[in-house]
Amino acid sequence: MTGTADGPGAAAARLTGRPVTGRSPLSGALTEVTLDDGRVVVVKRGDAPGAVCAEAAGLRWLAGTGTVRVPAVHGHDRRWLVTDRVPQGRPSPRAAVRFGRGLAALHAAGAPAFGAPPPGGPAEAYIGLAPMRNVPGTDWPRWYAEHRVLPYLRRAVDDGTLRPAETAVIERALDRLPELAGPAEPPARLHGDLWNGNVLWGADGEVRLIDPAAHGGHRETDLAMLRLFGCPHLDRVLDGYREAAPLADGWADRIGLHQLFPLLVHTVLFGRGYAGQAVAAARGAGR
C-alpha cells in the first residue's frame, strides 16, 4: 500500500527504510502513513525549491535546544519531509505555562545574527508559501525593515494590493523604527511563523511546534505572532515566558511593529483583507 512511485507512501518507505501498511490523506500536501512496525508518521510534500530543506533544517535547529518540542524528522529529500505524528490533546493552562517557559529558553538559545538561517538551511527560505530571504545583519531595526517588511511591502504595492496612502503610513513607521524598537537585544532563535495553527497541543500535555520559518530574529516577533491570530491560554503562555525571561519595558506597545511582517506576508498571499490590518498596526506602532 505504498501508493504511486513518487507518492507519500513511497516517500515514507524510502526515507524511513520501513514498509508502509496504510495511508490517510490529511490535506493536499499532508498524509499520515502507517509503517509496518505500527508507527504513524506524517509525510509532507513541498514543491517550492528548497522548501523541504529549509523546514527540516529549521526543525532540527529548534530541536537541538532541548526546549519546546518539535516532531522528530525521520528523513527528507527535495520534495518530501517525514516527521513524527503528534497525537492531539486539549490546550490546558499548565501546558501553556510550560510552553511559555520553553519558548523563552528556545529564544535564549540564540542565533549567530539577525536573519541567520538554521545550519544547513538555505538562505532562500519560506514563511508559509511566501519566499523569505535569510540575510544576516547586526542592527535589528535596519535588518527588520530591509529584509522582513520592505520585500512584502514592495510586492503588495507592485500587485496593487496596497494603496499609496496606506503605503506611506507603513513607510513612516519604518522611518521611525530605530526609536520605536525598544532596547537592543541579542538575536534570538525564532520559530519564525508562530501562529496558533503551528502550535500543536499534544495528548501528553506538551506543546509541539510545526512548520517553522526558523531564523535569527527579535524574540518579540514570535510573541507578537502568537497574539496576532489568537492562541489558547495566551496569558498563561506569557506568564510562563516572563517567569523565565522578563520582557523589556514597553514590549506590549511594540506588538504592532512586530506584526507588520506577518501581516504584510498575508497581504501578499491573500489580498486586501489583511492590508487594513497592516496599516492599522503601522499606525498604532507610530503613536
Q: Where are the alpha helices (DSSP H) in 64-201?
A: 93-108, 140-144, 150-158, 164-175, 177-180
**Cell output for 118:** 538554521
Catalytic residue of the set 193, 204, 235, 239: 193
Q: Is 45 helix (H, G, I), strand (E, B) or coil?
A: strand
- At 185, phi and psi to the nearest 5? -130, 155
Residues 6+ positions from 113 with CB-CB distance below 8 Å:
136, 137, 138, 187, 216
Q: Provide the H-helix boundaries in 21-76.
A: 51-63
| Grid coordinates belonging to 64 | 537541538
Grid cell in block for residue 174: 519604518
Give the span between the Cα atoms of 47 and 50, in whole angstroms. Answer: 8
> How far does the chain reach from its first CA to its final CA, in angstroms?
60
Contact predicate 61/23, CB 8 Å: no
Strands 20-25 and 30-35: antiparallel
**Does the annotation count 204 as an active-site position?**
no
- Say if CB 260 and CB 119 are below 8 A apart: no
Tell me which residues are annotated as active site.
193
